Structure 1
Amino acid sequence: MTDHPVPAPVSLRVAFLYWLKLGFISFGGPAGQIALMHSELVERRRWISEGRFLHALNYCMLLPGPEATQLAVYIGWLLHRTRGGIIAGVLFVLPSLLILIGLSWIYLAWGHLTVVAGIMNGIKPAVVAIVLAAAWRIGSRTLRNGILIAIACAAFVAIALLALPFPLIVLAAALAGMLGARLRPQAFQPVGGHGGAHAQPETQRPRALIDDDTPTPEHARFSRRRLAAVLIVGVGLMLLVWLLLAGWGGSGGKGGGTLAQMGWFFSKAALLTFGGAYAVLPYVVQGAVEQYGWLSAPQMIDGLALGETTPGPLIMIVAFVGFVGGWTHAVFGPAAPWLGGVAGATVATLFTFIPSFVFILAGGPLVESTRGNLRLTAPLTAISAAVVGVIASLALYFGREVFFAGGSVQPQAIVLGLLAAVALLRYKVGTITLIASCAAAGLVLSYWHV
């Protein structure tokens, strides 16, 4: 070891300010958010060691839900017990929720204006390119052999051509992984570990507050009593809120029925978010657009564009879906559509993220003990392969809505989409830069035709 002193214990106030700051600057999707936390918490502040950080990340990668959010909850929990985890997770999500509520209100109130419509028409082709690039990026990392490629193709056909529900595809992929672990285990081996050549030698690495050899805190050790308590509180809170909403709807409150539907739907979506937000978006589209009619397909694309330009996890697009659904369904009556929108966004966010808190606070020590067990990781590997096909189907769905809007070919959208795809895949242009450029192009084109 070097002579670097071990950092002083972190107060809850200092941690609070850091998590609040992170909530406002966490752009770039999960990879960017994890990189931000690594740079700040491992390298600069040394609150946690590289090994413990990656150990936590590997755990979060096994779970459904936004892994960057779960990683923040995990580290906050490790530092300051349950309250630290709750503070970290809430502050990671809250700025994004407030920003999206504001943007959604502007979108619905003034989206018909030429300037707003032009900007959104420019962003939509960029969104198609972003989804396509996500499929390529995840596929290049996940589809390591013919068996996994076949699973991805089967998932694409299942959702794009056969219109099978997303949960069924996840279940089928998991079963394929279980079978593959027995018949062809080498095809389902997980990708090699993180860090690797970049890890510092033990003799050169400064010590961290929570280092590799730091004993596991008492509150982070597995306890059946603690597991039961967290499950009861977490599930009980969701059930209580849902029952209140359902009771309001059953007693004549139409808005309560809509909000109860949202609660039930987004709690299911939270349990299916394997492989990142793009993987669960087709399920959200099936439910929010096609089943419940909370918003239209073009509005869904606009929401994804807004989600890409705001901090926080991309799955926060559920706040936009909830806001538009609460607004258009007049949850609190036609006189206050914005209030219905705020209620919808809040309900969607609450039911999407509570499961992530429960997974971390209740199951951390238990799930960590399963790492390296092929019988448990092979189904996740197969699900990751299926996710590639599902994301590709989402690109096809959005492309149809953008490039053939109104049943006619949209040449300007096609050109913008092709340029955006080249910028992403060939020149590695950042998402924010790409969306800003396409928004400017859409604005210029809208006034060019006025």
Structure 2
Amino acid sequence: MNDSSYSLRALALYFLRLGALGFGGPIALAGYMQRDLVERERWITKDEYVEGLALAQLAPGPLAAQLATYLGWVRGGVFGATLISVAFILPSFLMVVALSAAYLRFGGLEWIKGLFYGIGAAVIAIIARSVVKLAKMTLIKDRLLWAVFAINAGVTAWTESEIVWLFLASGLLLFFLRGRPTGPLATPGVSAMFPLDIVVTGLSGAASNETLWRIGLFFAEGGAVVFGSGLAIVPFLHGGVVNEHHWLTERQFLDAVAVAMITPGPVVITVAFIGYLVAGPLGATIAALGVFLPCYLFVVIPAPYFKRYAKNPSISAFVSGVTAAATGAIAGAGFVLGRRALLDAPTVIIAAVTLLALMKLKKAPEPLVILGAGAVGLLLRGWS
């Protein structure tokens, strides 16, 4: 049994620390929660953890943030879920905002370009490694899931965007083949509240009210429809940010993904970097709220009813199909980004060495590996 003597404050302090120091992406963060909260402190029971993980996989949005929200709900209801969500997300959000300000101020300098020349190549290696890990964990030797994976990877690579209906179709395919049950079953402009242009100033100057609303709607859509780990949102963001709205260039988008990789906490916090480049601090805040609010609601609203359906075979089948689709989309996004990041022989070598280091040195911290790649890029290009 879990120890009920601890306070919600202690749990919030734990997630504040995890958000500030937890590197490695959603799979690693979920592993830290199991190790610390279930095995060491015994604050959360194994069943509660497994239920939270299942709900996080079923609902769209970033997996680690949703798991944290559910564990907060288990111990403190809606207030606990809100407190833990803020504690987990806030540290990485503040770090990304600071990095965004530095990037906006110094992004034109050659040493910054050189740094991200190497980091961009390293990010491709990390995406490739994540795809391999996700495939081993979720697809195993299931031929149908591998087919779903391959189709989604090919479509994402070809269209350079995420096809939401294909995700849903993948889930429904598994549902009908393996899990179908036998029985029946007018407002003022936002920027008017902030008279200082600096609050909404990005790469292209002060953002308009229309741009701020578009940012909110776009990132809310991402938080509401994207399944899987934090990297699963990359193809969706690429299609909208680069191809549809033209807010960022390919290089700037890759830099945004790199910033998320070198900061702790949820990988999806990259949206704050994108929002900052488009519309300054307010844009970063709107983007982060847009992504995390839907995932928060997708946990808090169904949580009271989820226990009775968590092990339903129909739900499990749908989740497996969506997960396979999300893994395929990540692979396709990695291919698209790789074509832009691997510009020449040095970047190919940096990516290969990074991938080898991550595979052989299993305890190597990803942020240190990425910063090392950035240092190499700086030496090769930044000072030329």
TM-score by length of 2: 0.88
SS in 1 for 2:100: helix
Q: Which residue of 2 aligns with 1:207?
A: none
Q: Which residue of 1 aligns with 2:261?
A: 308
Distance 1:174 1:244 in 2: 40
Matched to 2:142, the amino acid is: N
State yes or no: 1:172 paired with 2:125: no
Q: Which residue of 2 aligns with 1:82?
A: 78
Cα deviation, 1:218-277, whole Å, max 9, x if unaligned, reads xxxxxxxxxxxxxxxxxxxxxx9xx5557969xxx9621111101111111112221112
Alignment equivalent of 1:442, drawn from 374, 377, 380: 377
SS in 1 for 2:226: coil
Assess, with a 3 A threshold, how the Cα gap between structure 1 residues 244 and 87 changes in structure 2: closer, same or farther. Answer: farther
8 Å contact kept, 1:30–1:68: yes
Assess, with a 3 A threshold, how the Cα gap between structure 1 residues 142 and 49 changes in structure 2: closer, same or farther. Answer: closer
Q: Which residue of 1 aligns with 2:154?
A: 157
State yes or no: 1:390 paired with 2:329: yes
Distance 1:420 1:374 in 2: 40
Distance 1:177 1:83 in 2: 36
The Cα of 1:90 is off from its aligned counterpart by 0.6
8 Å contact kept, 2:64–2:266: yes
The Cα of 1:432 is off from its aligned counterpart by 1.8
Q: Which residue of 2 aligns with 1:414?
A: 348
Distance 1:354 1:256 in 2: 21
SS in 1 for 2:43: coil
The Cα of 1:111 is off from its aligned counterpart by 1.9
8 Å contact kept, 1:269–1:280: yes
Matched to 1:398, the amino acid is: L
Q: Which residue of 1 aligns with 2:56?
A: 60
Assess, with a 3 A threshold, how the Cα gap between structure 1 residues 162 and 38 changes in structure 2: closer, same or farther. Answer: closer
State yes or no: 1:100 paired with 2:118: no
8 Å contact kept, 2:23–2:366: no
State yes or no: 1:265 paired with 2:218: yes
8 Å contact kept, 1:245–1:259: no
Alignment equivalent of 1:432, drawn from 363, 367, 372: 367
What pairs up with 1:21-420 in 2 under 5 angstroms?
A: 21-143=17-139, 144-162=141-159, 165-181=162-178, 245=189, 255-326=208-279, 341-404=280-343, 410-420=344-354
8 Å contact kept, 2:25–2:230: no
8 Å contact kept, 1:33–1:68: yes
Aligned pair count reads 366
The Cα of 1:41 is off from its aligned counterpart by 2.0
The Cα of 1:176 is off from its aligned counterpart by 1.7
Assess, with a 3 A threshold, how the Cα gap between structure 1 residues 79 and 245 changes in structure 2: closer, same or farther. Answer: farther
Distance 1:16 1:158 in 2: 41
Cα deviation, 1:357-394, whole Å, max 9, x if unaligned, reads 21222111223322222222212211211222211111
The Cα of 1:23 is off from its aligned counterpart by 2.1
Matched to 2:28, the amino acid is: G
Distance 2:152 2:380 in 1: 37
Matched to 2:222, the amino acid is: A
RMSD: 2.5
8 Å contact kept, 1:101–1:319: yes
Distance 2:160 2:351 in 1: 25
Cα deviation, 1:86-139, whole Å, max 9, x if unaligned, reads 111011001111110000111121122232222111111001111111111111
The Cα of 1:164 is off from its aligned counterpart by 6.5
Matched to 2:244, the amino acid is: Q
8 Å contact kept, 1:92–1:312: yes
Query: Unpaired runs of 5+ in structure 1?
Result: 186-239, 327-340, 405-409
Distance 2:12 2:220 in 1: 27
8 Å contact kept, 2:161–2:239: no
Assess, with a 3 A threshold, how the Cα gap between structure 1 residues 58 and 169 changes in structure 2: closer, same or farther. Answer: same
Assess, with a 3 A threshold, how the Cα gap between structure 1 residues 178 and 13 changes in structure 2: closer, same or farther. Answer: closer
Which of these two proteins has the greater Rg computed from alpha carbons? Answer: 1
TM-score by length of 1: 0.76
Matched to 1:175, the amino acid is: L
Distance 1:73 1:182 in 2: 28
Q: Among the aligned pairs, what percent are the same residue?
A: 31
SS in 1 for 2:276: helix
Assess, with a 3 A threshold, how the Cα gap between structure 1 residues 345 and 441 changes in structure 2: closer, same or farther. Answer: same
Distance 1:90 1:49 in 2: 23
8 Å contact kept, 1:272–1:280: no
Matched to 2:354, the amino acid is: A
Distance 2:62 2:162 in 1: 21
